[in-house]
């Protein structure tokens, strides 16, 4: 078990574009994936991207069972997604209060496309393709943003809907 330190907003590594994974099913990649899961579980997150632990590779993980940080959210299967691409279906948008382990203690209201297909590979190099909506779609887009150096606060349109969890009205988030 290796819980890695999660970099916080302000660390320049979080603004970098990560590079594609070239070699699959390697000891190094399996170790990274294992550490990402250990870290996500330890921090009670819904997802984690490799750049958040200082590894600038296009690897994200996500998965939500019952999560006290997202009490009303539907469950999302545990997924490893590498070199992802997202295709937006339709033009419907949805807004959700997002949080991020790199922006601890804060939440912000972000609107994103509500219906997507994502494609990529798992850690063994197996092709993944999945059509999702709702919370699942939000989690995938949030994590994939990290691979392009984008943190959710830069996607908030109304900055009055951003702040510390403890200050925001509990019924709104």
User: Site for Ni ion (CB under 5 A): how many residues?
Assistant: 1
Residue 100 as a binder of Ni ion (CB under 5 A): the answer is yes
CB of 89 or CB of 150, closer to Ni ion:
150
CB of 21 or CB of 106, closer to Ni ion:
106
Tell me which stretch binds Ni ion (CB under 5 A): 34-42, 82-90, 98-106, 125-133. 98-106
Burial of residue 42 (CB within 10 Å: 0-12, 13-18, 19+) is middle
Tell me which stretch binds Ni ion (CB under 5 A): 4-12, 25-33, 99-107, 118-126. 99-107
Chain residue whose CB lies nearest Ni ion: 100
Active-site residue, from 98, 143, 166, 167: 143
Q: Which residues of 118-141 are buried (b: 16+ CB within 10 A; e: fewer)?
A: bebbebeeeeeeeebbebbbbbbb
Whether residue 165 lies in the annotated active site: no
Whole-number Å distance between alpha carbons of 36 and 3? 8
CB of 26 or CB of 44, closer to Ni ion:
44
Tell me which stretch binds Ni ion (CB under 5 A): 30-38, 71-79, 94-102, 165-173. 94-102
Burial of residue 172 (CB within 10 Å: 0-12, 13-18, 19+) is exposed
C-alpha R_g of the chain? 15
The structure tokens 């699942």 sit at: 136
Q: Residue 45 is encoded by which pair of tokens?
A: 């997150």
Interface with Ni ion by CB under 5 A: which residues? 100
Kindly list the catalytic residues.
143
């Amino acid at each position: 078990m290796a819980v890695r330190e999660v970099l916080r907003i302000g660390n320049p590594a979080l603004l970098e574009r990560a590079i594609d994974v070239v070699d699959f099913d390697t000891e190094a990649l399996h170790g990274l994936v294992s550490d990402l899961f250990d870290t996500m579980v330890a921090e009670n997150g819904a997802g984690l991207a490799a750049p958040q632990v200082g590894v600038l590779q296009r690897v994200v993980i996500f998965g939500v069972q019952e999560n006290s940080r997202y009490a009303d959210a539907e469950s999302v299967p545990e997924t490893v997604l590498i070199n992802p691409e997202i295709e937006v279906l339709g033009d419907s948008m949805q807004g959700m209060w997002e949080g991020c382990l790199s922006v601890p203690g804060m939440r912000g209201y972000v609107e994103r496309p509500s219906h997507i297909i994502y494609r990529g590979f798992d850690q063994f190099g197996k092709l993944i393709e999945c059509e999702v909506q709702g919370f699942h779609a939000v989690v995938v887009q949030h994590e994939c943003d990290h691979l392009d150096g984008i943190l959710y606060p830069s996607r908030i349109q109304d900055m009055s809907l951003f702040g510390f969890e403890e200050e925001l009205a509990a019924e709104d988030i």
